[in-house]
Structure formats: C-alpha cells, structure tokens
Structure 1
Amino acid sequence: MTAWSSTTLVRIADDYDREMGDSGAPLDSRFGRYLAQHMDDLWDDDRTDPKAFLAWAWRVGTGPIMSPGYVRIRPDLGAVRLTQSQEDGRLLVVIETPVGHGQLAQGVRPPYSMRDWETDRYDYSSDGYSRLQDPMDESKPALLLSATLRLPADDWKLHQPAGKWPVEELLIDDAKQAVAVAVAGINDIAGHRVAKLIGSEGGAW
C-alpha cells in the first residue's frame, strides 16, 4: 500500500483484499463478498449512475461495514465519506477530523489545564499516524475540537459502471475502478488542505 503522508488521506488495501479471499483464486475478493451482501442497498437506477454507484461502493468498502476496509482511512482522521448534494446531486467529499489545540493560533488556544485529544496507546502504527481518542484522565476538564471539511468533486472523471453484472467479478472490477478514482481524487483535492489544518503545515490554513 501507499505510505501515509501529510497529504495522503486514503489508500487502497488491494493485496490484503486478495489475501483474505475465501478461495485463493486470482480474482477472489473480500471486498466482493461485502458488495454482494449489500446489493439490496443499491437501487436499480443507481447501478448505472457513476456518482451513486461510487458512493455505494465507497460506503461498502469502508468502516463500519468493512473493518478493516478495502479503502483505508488515515488513522488520525475521523472519517472520509462520499455523499451527494441534496440540492443538485453533485458528489461531495466529507472529511471529519479531530483538531488538536496545538493546531490553533497561539492567541486562541485554551488554557493548558484543558485536556486535549490523546493518541490511542493501543493503536500501533508503523508509518507515523495513530488513532486519536478522548483523554484517559476524565477527572480534569477537556476541550475536544474537530473540523468537517466538505469539498465538491466536480472535476473527477468517474468510472461508468455497467449496471448489469452476469458474473460477480465484473461487479468487483467496476467497484474497484470507481473507488480508485475517488482515492486519487480525495488525496489530490483534500490532502493539501488537511495538511494545513492538522498536518505538517498545521494552523496555516
């Protein structure tokens, strides 16, 4: 998998997906099993709609439906979702993330006596990013800040799903291609913004 960085927010675990397949066949896919189990969540009209199909495949391929997901979200982020606007149907990326006190300008940071997000001591990460959690010490005041970043994905060239899949492998291929477009797009349009919010350039937004 691609290594995490300050601008890499999501990545695909394709090797793990194949390794965890039931049959060991080249096209076997754990993601595919979950897709098949959730076909009732995909309306007939959405099967040929690139935005709706992508939003469905993304939802299936991430937690809490798949854990660990086919799409991995950087551990220090809260969530990365795809949805469609209620107003005009456009595809939207929604990123939810904790924001530590240290990312705020000096003059607006809370007093040091206020507890902040803490690194999950049981969440080991070999590439520098760990899940954040509420402070363990609940006897002292805590101020836990978070941000929601919402971005339109108007410029993405979305994958066109077939809509009918005589064999499951074709559905899996459509879903994987759709999700790959989203992973590249999210890192491109949101990576530098998140880096300025909580990453290497934190507080510089």
Structure 2
Amino acid sequence: MTTWSSTTLVAIADDYDREMGDSGAPLDSRFGRYLTQRIDGLWDDDRTDPAAFLVWAWRVATPPVMSPGYVRIRPDLGAVRLTQSQEDGRLLVEVETPVQHGQLAPGVRPPYAAMRDWETDRYSYSSDGPRRLQAPEDESRPALLLAATLRLPADGWMLHEPAGKWPVEELLIDDAKQAVAIAVAGINDIAGHRVAKLIGDEGGHW
C-alpha cells in the first residue's frame, strides 16, 4: 500500500512487483518481464546513456505500458513523464494534472455560472490518499475541465549509469530499478511542493 501525501507524486511498488512474478523466485520481477520484452526498443547508443536509459525504463515502468505500473502515480494526477529536450538533450520532468475550479485563486476562477467541473470517480478505490478525477457523469450540462502541465528540468540528478550489456536479465532489471528509484526521489523533490501549491491544501494561495 502506498501512503500518499500532498508532495508525494510517484512511488515504487516493488513488493507488488515481486508478488506478481511468474516463478516466485527471489529475483523474479513483473517489471523485468516488461523490460526484456521491450529491450529492442532501446537504441544501442542509449544503452549506456544514463538519461536516455532512464527515459526508456520509466516509460516501461508506468502506464499505459505497465498497468498497474512498477512506478505508481498518485491517483488524482493525470501522468508523470520523463523526456529529453530536443534542444540540448537535458532530462525533463512533465507532470499533468486536472485542476478543479476551487483550486484556483478566486480572482482567476472561470466566470461562468453553474459550469461543471472535474468529479471524483466514485468507482475508483483509494484507502490511502486522493482518488482519481474524471469528467462529469452528467453530460447534459456544460463543463469546463482545466488541466495543467508542469515541466521542470531535472538538472543536478546523479543518474544511474547502466552497464549497456547485460549477460543475464537480472543485471538489466537491477540497472532499471536503480535508475527509476533515483527518478522517483528526484520527481517528488523538485515537483512535489509545486504540485501541492497548485492542487493541494495550498491551492489558490500562491
């Protein structure tokens, strides 16, 4: 079970990953199966590039590739992605989140009366934090659904350096897990407090 907070955006579900392994062996990993099935999608030059390897591993570890993911994304967020800048190749973090009207400062809230907003998904279950948001079920009334994308450079992260060649798949899995763990800590550090100011208890009080 993941314990979410206003500044915790992503978390690793390693126990679940091992429980869902096919063989039950100590090194068995559901994440590992997804990695090995998609290793051909990792360019040769990217196998030793820490940022490119991390972007590939993160894509595998998160929905829609893995669902539920090896990396869990807080249910009220839309997506958390890692990309590289087309300008200089730097690592970038992108957090997409729905923004409810009440989370905006009063002076900038939509000027429409009776406009529908994001709703809590009543069919989703979360005993440990916020629940998923969805478009209104009642589609007979107008709705204004706002969303934000927070984009941050991940400068200063000490990225894991992958071996580039993995004679056994356990070494690939270990490289990917170490790379992803650094990203999880880094994302919560640089983006968590910013998201909290946007949609958390501080929302509307910038």
SS of 1:138 mapped into structure 2: coil
Q: Give the partner amino acid of 1:40.
A: D
SS of 2:76 mapped into structure 1: coil
How do 1:45-84 residues align onto structure 2 when only pairs under 5 Å count? 45-84=45-84
The percent identity for this pair of structures is: 85
Deviations 1:100-149 (A, max 9, x none): 00011112222340000000111010012111100011111100000000
User: TM-score, normalised to structure 1's length?
Assistant: 0.98
Mapped to 1, the partners of 2:83 and 2:120 lie a distance apart of: 29
Q: Give the partner amino acid of 1:17.
A: D
Deviations 1:54-90 (A, max 9, x none): 0000000000000000000000000000000000000
How do 1:114-153 residues align onto structure 2 when only pairs under 5 Å count? 114-153=115-154
Q: Give the partner amino acid of 1:12.
A: I
Unaligned runs of 5+ in 1: none
Mapped to 1, the partners of 2:186 and 2:113 lie a distance apart of: 38
Structure 1 stretches of 4+ with a deviation exceeding 2 A read none
Q: Give the partner amino acid of 1:24.
A: G
Aligned match of 1:187 = 188
Unaligned runs of 5+ in 2: none
Mapped to 2, the partners of 1:39 and 1:112 lie a distance apart of: 52
Q: Give the partner amino acid of 2:189.
A: D
SS of 2:45 mapped into structure 1: helix
Mapped to 2, the partners of 1:157 and 1:2 lie a distance apart of: 25
How do 1:1-205 residues align onto structure 2 when only pairs under 5 Å count? 1-110=1-110, 111-205=112-206
Mapped to 2, the partners of 1:54 and 1:2 lie a distance apart of: 23
Root-mean-square deviation (Å): 0.9
1:3 is displaced (CA, Å) by 1.0
Q: Give the partner amino acid of 2:49.
A: D
Instruction: Verify the 8 A CA contact 2:106 2:204 in the aligned structure 1.
Output: no
